[in-house]
Amino acid sequence: MAQRFSNYPKFKLIKKSLNLKAIPYVSLNTNGGRKIKVELPDSAYGEWIIYQKNEPKFYFCAFKENGEVNRIASYAREKKMDMECFLVELLRTREYTDLATKFTGTLSIPLRQKSSMQEFELMQIVDS
Amino acid sequence: MASFGLASRFKVGAELAETTTNLVYHSTTRPGVADDILRNGIDPNFFNSASRFGKGFYVGNSPSTTIAELGYHGYSRVNTIRYTLENAKLFNATGRIRIWDIGVKYTPRLLGKGARLFNYDGIIFNSLRSSGTNTVLFKNFGTLRNGTKIF
């Protein structure tokens, strides 16, 4: 297991401001409160938001500025690994927990009329 | 009981299923993405499970439809690829039964799961951002032919 992690491509986390469509959800579960789901376009290809404790925290884009596929995505592609699982596993190597690539809206009501573009400061996963 | 309800709904859908030959368009938001798709083919590993109907390749019936979809999310298109979509087994959610629009808007995941369950290649649905239609393909990407970058 440890050996598998050691083969993973090295990465770093950098701050990235992104304007994203934000949809507030009112949670009906015991924790209550408001949660924010962010949406990428349906046609997003090689791009993910990763949630920690159901809040948007990380961002990954498989493509570099010059349009080439980065080393992290190339590694997953080469090893035929599921990219979403791989990204979660990569972050776990830095001891981040409660991660998911989807917002969990169970027992929550979306307030779509109140959706808006909002700026989020996320941590982008990039090659190091 | 619940599964029976879903099955009966999709029996209606099955009657509406169609095989199409159409021009469809996929717009990308980053440099290099269109070239990567055309060079290496569509890679399902690059789909996002958080997309409306889950993992899939999303195309529109015109470039303006794809641009409207991106614009709603604050994105601009960088490139557009045109394909010919041939002989795909699509679940048609654009029919006269407008209930499918409600499904597209409020329960797209359920619709996506149902279409997969009944072995459709994808779903064709009305765009919520423009007057056009969109198609999501879950599999059988070989039905998308003659990919050409037009923008």
CA distance A105 to A54: 9
Give the pLDDT confidence of B129-140 residue by residue, as tens digits: 998 999 999 999
Query: What is the structure's pLDDT at A2?
Result: 54
Query: What is the structure's pLDDT at B5?
Result: 46
Chain A residues in contact with B111 by the CB 8 A cut-off are: none
Q: Which amino acid is at B14?
A: A
- ipTM of model: 0.90
Cα-based angle A25, A28, A30 (whole degrees, multiple of 5): 125
H/E stretch holding B11? helix B2-16
Pick from A2, A49, A1, A58: nearest CA to A21: A49
From residue A93, how far is each of A8, A11, A82, A87 by CA, in Å? 10, 11, 17, 10
Asked if residue B10 has pLDDT above 80, the reply is no
User: What pTM was computed for the model?
Assistant: 0.89
Give the pLDDT confidence of B35-74 residue by residue, as tens digits: 999 999 999 999 999 999 999 999 999 999 999 999 999 9
Q: Which of B25, B30, B39, B64 to substitute to test the interface with A, most A CBs within 10 Å?
A: B30
Least confidently predicted of B9-13, B55-59, B100-104, B126-130: B9-13
Q: Which amino acid is at A108?
A: S
* B58-74 per-residue burial string, b: 16 or more CB within 10 A, e: under 16: bbbbbbbbbbbbbebbe
- Residues of chain A scoring pLDDT < 50: none
Chain A residues in contact with B31 by the CB 8 A cut-off are: 63, 65-67
